[in-house]
Each structure stands twice: as C-alpha cells, then as structure tokens.
Amino acid sequence: MGKVAVAFAAAAVVAACSVAAVMVRRRVKSRRKWRSVVEILKELEEGCDTPVGRLRQVVDAMAVEMHAGLASEGGSKLKMLLTFVHELPKGTEKGTYYALHLGGTYFRILRVHLGGERSYLDVQDVERHPIPSHLMNSTSEVLFNFLAFSLERFIEKEGDGSSSQGVKRELAFTFSFPVKHSSISSGVLIKWTKGFEISEMVGRDIAECLQVALNTRGLDMHVAALVNDTVGALSLGYYHDPDTVVAVVFGTGSNACYLERTDAIIKSQGLLTTSGSMVVNMEWGNFWSSHLPRTSYDIDLDAESSNSNDMGFEKMIAGMYLGDIVRRVILRMSQESDIFGPSSSLLSEPYVLRTNLVSAMHEDDTPELQEVARILKDLGVSEVPLKVRKLVVKVCDVVTRRAGRLAAAGIAGILKKIGRDGSGGITSGRSRSETQMQRRTVVAVEGGLYMNYTMFREYMEEALVEILGEEVSQYVVVKAMEDGSSIGSALLVASSQ
Ligand code: ADP
Ligand code: MG
C-alpha cells in the first residue's frame, strides 16, 4: 500500500471512530435524558403514594375536622354548613316542579313530574349547556339575566299543558358554591370556587338575585328552594332508597353532604327540627390535612390559581384540576429532556389539558395508543414514540389513582363520623351495637368525573373496600345518581310544599 493509500485508510478509520463516538455519546445522552424522565415519574409516584395506612390517617383527620366544624363557627377548614333541609323526599310527592342548576362547567334546566308514587318520577326536558366562560367573571346582573333568559326560553318551548294556567311554577335553584343559609330558600354566597370570580356577589342572597331577575323578565316562577348540588343528589338518593344518608359530587369541583343529628350540631344549639336531623353541607373541597400526599405540582397549581390557599382537597380530587396536574408533570418532563420533541408552548398554558382528555388517554386501549398520540398532537407534541406515550398514560394513572383513593378516604371519614364505618364512630358514648355496625348505608354519588371516568370510579371503590374491610363494605352501597343534583332539588321543593 502506498503512503497516500495508508493515509486515506487511517483517515477513514478515524472518521468512522468519531461517528461511532458521536452515536455512542448521543445514545448515552438520550439514555440519561430518559433516565431523568423516569426519575420524574418515580418522584411523582412516591409523592402521590396512598398506602392504606395513610388513607386511614386521612379518614381520621376528616372525622376530626367534621367534629371541629360542627363545634364552632370557623372551628375547621370544613365549614359544615346548615342547609335547613331536615326532611328528605319520601316518594309520595305530587305535581310539576322545575330545577335550574348552576354547576362549575354546565348549567342545566329540567322539569319533573311526580305522580305520588316513587315509581312515578317523570324527568322531562333536560337541558344541559356549558356555562359561557365570560359569565364566570362578569357581573351578577349579567349572570342572573342570562339564567332568567335561559329559563324563559325553556318555558316557551313547553307550550301548554306542563303547568296549569295561572299557577306559579315552583323552581329549585341548585347552586354548587358555598352558601350560608338562613332558611331553605335563602342564603348568601360565602365565596366563589372553581374559577368563578364575581366579587360583588359575595355576601348577597343568591335566591333573591335569581327571583329579581325572573320578576324583571316577567316570569311567573317562584324560587322555592336554594339547594347545594350535593343536597340535591342526597334527595334523589333518599327518594329511591331511604338508607341514603351521604351524598358526594365529583364533577368540576367536589363536595359532600350528609344527614346529621341536630344535637351534634353544637354550634347551633337549640336548633329544632321535626325529624331531629338536618342535612349538613360539608364543603369538603376545603378540607386539609398534613396527611394528604402533596407534590410540587399541587403546590404550584395552588399558587397560580385564582383561589390559592383554598380548596386544597378539591384541587387534588376534582375534575377541574386533575388534567392540570397531569399537564404540569408532562411539561416538566418535556423541559428536562427532549423526549417530547421541541418544547410546545401550548403545554405551558394552564388548564389546556382537560380531565376528559386525561381519561381518554388513560383508557386508550388501542395497541399503539393512537388516542394518546392524537391528544398529545393537539397539545403541540407530535410523533412521540410508543414508550413515551406509555409514560404519559402512567402519569394519568398515578394522578387519578391518588384522586380516587383520597376521595374514598373522604367518604370513609364521613362514615366514621356517623358511626357507619364499623368502628362505632369517634364520639365517646356512641353505642357499638352489632345492629349499628351493620346498618345498611347508601352513599349517593354524582358528577361528570365519577360518571364518565371509569378508572377514577374503580380506584375509589376499590380503596373504599380496602379502608373499610370486606365485611363492613358489604353494608355500604355506592349508588350513581345521574343528574341527581338537579332532579333531587326539584324533589326537595316538592316535599317542602
Ligand atoms: P358540573 O361540575 O358543571 O356540575 P359535571 O358534574 O358534569 O358538571 O362535571 C363536569 C366535569 O366532569 C368536567 O369539567 C370534567 O372535569 C369532568 N368530566 C366530564 N367528562 C369526563 C370524562 N369523560 N372523563 C373525566 N372527567 C370528565
Ligand atoms: Mg355538578
């Protein structure tokens, strides 16, 4: 071989080596990046861990906070609000009633016709629309005019026959925000939640605001009850099954109510009801305990929300927030590695990943996770390999599993407070008789998250059995109540006539 040829051969070897070196370096780098993403996932899993021991601590904390909230005004982050509902619908109600429900995302209007027997409940003309987003931070006048206008259109479509001429229509106003009641049909707004911000409404009577708007439009309707959505769900549950004593909503937000003995409501001593009990609206979204597993994503979400330091439990378990926790994790992964390709500015946008998309990704059963790929593409992240798509599914799973399990702990906390968890309750002097331990207890549940997200529902129900144990669980029945908040509120008006 001549000198020139040798030089060429040597150069080729050097070039090949350096190409190989670059490739190895790239592979090492990409492996390191993958490892950093796996590390983020591991950290998330540890941060969201909910072994049954921890759940039991949350159960105890919930029961303790319930006692504190009932003992004195401001005694707990749980407001434990009086509802002035002491009789629930029995099934013998008759007549036609209306409900208007302002939720966190949707408003609904419906009419029910009751024939005097439980089996004769006819739910007619259910209308459900997203709340136009501009209303959430408008003025009370704009909001209530819109609601009155929507009711007017609903009634116009009825034609004749739904309500006898000249008879005032009785309306339930289902309102999914915290209210301090002075009677079943009046109460003032304590604060907004779920992204609503109409500050001049705080402290004003919500039922009166609606009645004024209805009168202004000349609508012959009477706001006969102002009902928290959970109380509506409890009413429908009780109507069908009188063992129903607890109701929980998992929708945009989350909240619970239950039937309490009036003598246990110490902050309102002397409160007399014919039944000896009253429904208490817990406003459990604001529950907090140091036992709740909190991650840096929760802390950032809270800090950047319009109601920071508030609604800590809701921000871990409700539909409005689960998607945003998942988004924050994916965003961090995309910032610390390039596994999601060039960083997408869309991913930085708060609440862009909605919880219905999380459930669609989580429950994607196509072999190549095509649904995950499609949703990520809509977020500006395209062409991610299958292993990255699997990672995203895992993130959805971790966040939703924590939510479902904490939700179960919340429910078990209520059962503990009322002595239906098999432990005899935490109040001294409560009897631990066999009959009390084994009393059938129905928990009515509703809300878009619960109704539509199978994995959330399964994690919740599985954890409830884990906490209560197989034996006690046999006596605890969780019943889904579709549209329970709205239908039940109308039933409540019927039973209070
Ligand atoms: P509102 O909170 O207005 O009363 P819903 O009870 O219907 O309304 O709850 C709506 C919320 O439920 C949505 O904002 C979303 O967070 C959640 N949700 C709805 N559909 C799904 C779904 N398929 N998967 C997961 N969450 C869902
Ligand atoms: Mg709702």
> What is the bridge-based pairing of β-strands 244-250 and 81-82?
unpaired
Residues 55, 443: Cα–Cα separation, whole Å: 19
What predicted TM-score, i.e. pTM, was given to this entire model? 0.92
The pLDDT score that the predictor gives to residue 31 is 75
Q: What is the pLDDT of residue 5?
A: 54
> Is residue 192 a part of any domain in this protein?
yes
Q: How far is the CA of 122 from the centre of ligand 1 (A)?
A: 25
pLDDT at 418: 96
CA of 124 to the centre of ligand 2 (A): 19
Ligand 1 atom closest to Cα of 456?
25
Looking at the domain assignment, is residue 46 inside a domain? no
Query: What is the domain count for the chain?
Result: 1
CA nearest ligand 1 atom 19, residue: 448
CATH classification of the domain holding 152: 3.30.420.40
Distance 453 CA to ligand 1 centre (A): 9
Atom of ligand 1 nearest to the CA of 176: 4
What was the pLDDT predicted at 16? 58
Beta pairing class for 81-82 and 277-281: antiparallel
Per-residue pLDDT tens digits of the chain, which is 497 residues long = 555 555 555 555 555 556 566 666 666 667 778 899 999 999 999 999 999 999 999 999 999 999 999 999 999 999 999 999 999 999 999 999 999 999 999 999 999 999 999 888 999 889 999 999 999 999 999 999 999 999 999 999 887 555 555 678 999 999 999 999 999 999 999 999 999 999 999 999 999 999 999 999 999 999 999 999 999 999 999 999 999 999 999 999 999 999 999 999 999 987 777 889 999 999 999 999 999 999 999 999 999 999 999 999 999 999 999 999 999 999 999 999 888 888 777 899 999 999 999 999 999 999 999 999 999 999 999 889 999 999 999 999 999 999 999 999 999 999 999 999 988 644 434 444 544 557 899 999 999 999 999 999 999 999 999 999 999 999 999 999 999 999 999 999 999 88
Does any domain span residue 267? no
- Does 366 map to a domain? no
Domain-located, residue 230: yes
What pLDDT does residue 118 have? Answer: 87
- For the Cβ of 359 lying below 6 angstroms from any atom of ligand 1, the answer is yes
What is the number of the ligand 1 atom nearest to the C-alpha of 101?
4
**Residue 254 is assigned to a structural domain of this protein:** no
Whether residue 355 has its Cβ less than 6 Å from ligand 1: yes
Pocket-testing residue among 315, 322, 355, ligand 1, by greatest number of atoms within 8 A of Cβ: 355
Q: How far is the CA of 51 from the centre of ligand 1 (A)?
A: 27
Task: Tell me which residues have their CB within 5 A of the ion that is ligand 2.
Answer: 103, 229, 251
Q: How far is the CA of 408 from the centre of ligand 2 (A)?
A: 18
In a domain, 180, yes or no: yes
Nearest alpha carbon, ligand 1 atom 22: 356
Domain assignment of residue 356, yes or no = no
Q: Is the CB of 103 under 6 A from ligand 1?
A: yes
CB 449 less than 6 A from any atom of ligand 1: yes
C-beta 295 within 6 A of ligand 1? no
> What's the gap in Å between 320 CA and the centre of ligand 1?
8
- Note down the domain range covering 117: 81-240+483-495
Residue closest by Cα to atom 7 of ligand 1: 448
Ligand 1 centroid from CA 408, angstroms: 18
Ligand located closest to 448 CA: 1
Strand partners, 374: none
Would you say the CB of residue 448 lies under 6 angstroms from ligand 1? Answer: yes
How many CB atoms lie under 10 A from the CB of residue 471? 10
